[in-house]
Amino acid sequence: DAKTTQPPSMDCAEGRAANLPCNHSTISGNEYVYWYRQIHSQGPQYIIHGLKNNETNEMASLIITEDRKSSTLILPHATLRDTAVYYCIVRVAANTGNQFYFGTGTSLTVIP
Protein backbone atom coordinates (compact mmCIF):
# COMPACT_ATOMS: atom_id res chain seq x y z
CA ASP A 1 0.00 0.00 0.00
CA ALA A 2 1.27 3.42 -0.88
CA LYS A 3 2.02 5.56 2.13
CA THR A 4 2.62 8.77 0.23
CA THR A 5 1.48 10.31 -3.04
CA GLN A 6 3.73 12.51 -5.15
CA PRO A 7 3.46 13.87 -8.69
CA PRO A 8 5.58 11.76 -11.03
CA SER A 9 7.51 14.66 -12.52
CA MET A 10 8.14 18.39 -12.26
CA ASP A 11 10.25 21.01 -13.99
CA CYS A 12 11.85 24.03 -12.39
CA ALA A 13 13.86 26.89 -13.85
CA GLU A 14 17.40 27.22 -12.59
CA GLY A 15 17.66 29.74 -9.77
CA ARG A 16 13.98 29.56 -8.93
CA ALA A 17 12.45 27.81 -5.94
CA ALA A 18 11.39 24.20 -6.48
CA ASN A 19 8.30 23.24 -4.50
CA LEU A 20 7.71 19.50 -4.32
CA PRO A 21 4.38 18.41 -2.82
CA CYS A 22 3.61 15.20 -0.97
CA ASN A 23 0.33 13.83 0.27
CA HIS A 24 0.33 11.59 3.34
CA SER A 25 -3.28 11.71 4.43
CA THR A 26 -3.11 8.57 6.60
CA ILE A 27 -0.10 9.66 8.63
CA SER A 28 -0.21 8.84 12.32
CA GLY A 29 0.61 11.22 15.10
CA ASN A 30 4.04 9.78 15.85
CA GLU A 31 5.18 9.29 12.27
CA TYR A 32 7.85 11.49 10.75
CA VAL A 33 7.99 12.77 7.20
CA TYR A 34 11.35 12.26 5.53
CA TRP A 35 12.65 13.50 2.21
CA TYR A 36 15.41 11.80 0.27
CA ARG A 37 16.70 12.28 -3.23
CA GLN A 38 18.44 10.03 -5.67
CA ILE A 39 20.71 11.29 -8.40
CA HIS A 40 21.04 8.84 -11.30
CA SER A 41 21.47 5.38 -9.75
CA GLN A 42 23.41 6.47 -6.71
CA GLY A 43 22.25 5.62 -3.22
CA PRO A 44 19.48 7.84 -1.86
CA GLN A 45 20.65 10.97 -0.08
CA TYR A 46 18.97 12.31 3.02
CA ILE A 47 17.59 15.85 2.70
CA ILE A 48 15.42 16.72 5.66
CA HIS A 49 12.76 15.37 7.99
CA GLY A 50 10.08 16.71 10.32
CA LEU A 51 7.25 15.76 12.63
CA LYS A 52 4.96 18.76 13.08
CA ASN A 53 6.94 21.97 12.79
CA ASN A 54 8.46 23.40 9.66
CA GLU A 55 12.11 22.61 9.30
CA THR A 56 15.01 24.23 7.47
CA ASN A 57 18.58 23.16 6.87
CA GLU A 58 21.35 24.04 4.44
CA MET A 59 19.74 22.02 1.66
CA ALA A 60 16.02 22.68 1.88
CA SER A 61 12.95 23.68 3.84
CA LEU A 62 10.10 21.38 4.81
CA ILE A 63 6.62 22.80 5.25
CA ILE A 64 4.11 20.50 6.96
CA THR A 65 0.43 21.44 7.01
CA GLU A 66 -1.25 21.87 10.36
CA ASP A 67 -3.30 18.68 9.92
CA ARG A 68 -0.08 16.89 8.79
CA LYS A 69 -1.83 15.35 5.81
CA SER A 70 0.55 16.90 3.34
CA SER A 71 3.93 18.55 3.11
CA THR A 72 6.08 20.49 0.67
CA LEU A 73 9.81 20.29 0.16
CA ILE A 74 11.28 23.59 -0.95
CA LEU A 75 14.64 23.93 -2.68
CA PRO A 76 15.04 27.71 -2.46
CA HIS A 77 17.37 28.24 -5.43
CA ALA A 78 17.39 25.18 -7.64
CA THR A 79 20.57 24.35 -9.54
CA LEU A 80 21.19 21.88 -12.33
CA ARG A 81 22.73 19.54 -9.77
CA ASP A 82 19.37 19.32 -8.00
CA THR A 83 17.98 17.32 -10.93
CA ALA A 84 17.05 14.05 -9.25
CA VAL A 85 14.20 11.87 -8.07
CA TYR A 86 12.81 13.11 -4.76
CA TYR A 87 11.16 10.70 -2.36
CA CYS A 88 8.74 11.66 0.37
CA ILE A 89 8.61 8.94 3.01
CA VAL A 90 6.47 8.37 6.05
CA ARG A 91 8.21 6.28 8.64
CA VAL A 92 6.03 3.37 9.68
CA ALA A 93 6.60 1.85 13.10
CA ALA A 94 6.09 -1.92 12.95
CA ASN A 95 5.95 -4.22 15.94
CA THR A 96 9.59 -5.10 15.76
CA GLY A 97 11.11 -2.07 14.18
CA ASN A 98 10.81 0.91 11.93
CA GLN A 99 10.32 0.27 8.25
CA PHE A 100 11.14 2.78 5.54
CA TYR A 101 8.81 2.48 2.59
CA PHE A 102 9.60 4.42 -0.58
CA GLY A 103 7.02 5.45 -3.13
CA THR A 104 7.84 6.20 -6.75
CA GLY A 105 8.98 9.75 -6.05
CA THR A 106 8.96 12.93 -8.12
CA SER A 107 11.46 13.30 -10.92
CA LEU A 108 12.61 16.91 -10.75
CA THR A 109 14.29 18.40 -13.81
CA VAL A 110 16.00 21.75 -13.33
CA ILE A 111 16.05 23.62 -16.63
CA PRO A 112 18.82 26.08 -17.50
Partner 1 sequence: NAGVTQTPKFRILKIGQSMTLQCAQDMNHNYMYWYRQDPGMGLKLIYYSVGAGITDKGEVPNGYNVSRSTTEDFPLRLELAAPSQTSVYFCASKADMLGTEAFFGQGTRLTVV
Q: Is the separation of the CB atoms in 22 and 37 below 8 Å?
A: no
Q: Tell me: does residue 43 bind partner 1 (CB under 8 A).
A: yes
Among 59, 63, 102, 109, binds partner 1 (CB under 8 A): 102
Q: Tell me: does residue 32 bind partner 1 (CB under 8 A).
A: yes
Cα angle 112, 82, 86 (rounded to 5 degrees) comes to: 130
d(CA 101, CA 87): 10
Q: Tell me: does residue 28 bind partner 1 (CB under 8 A).
A: no
Interface positions with partner 1 (CB under 8 A): 30, 32, 34, 41-46, 49, 51, 85, 87, 94, 96-105
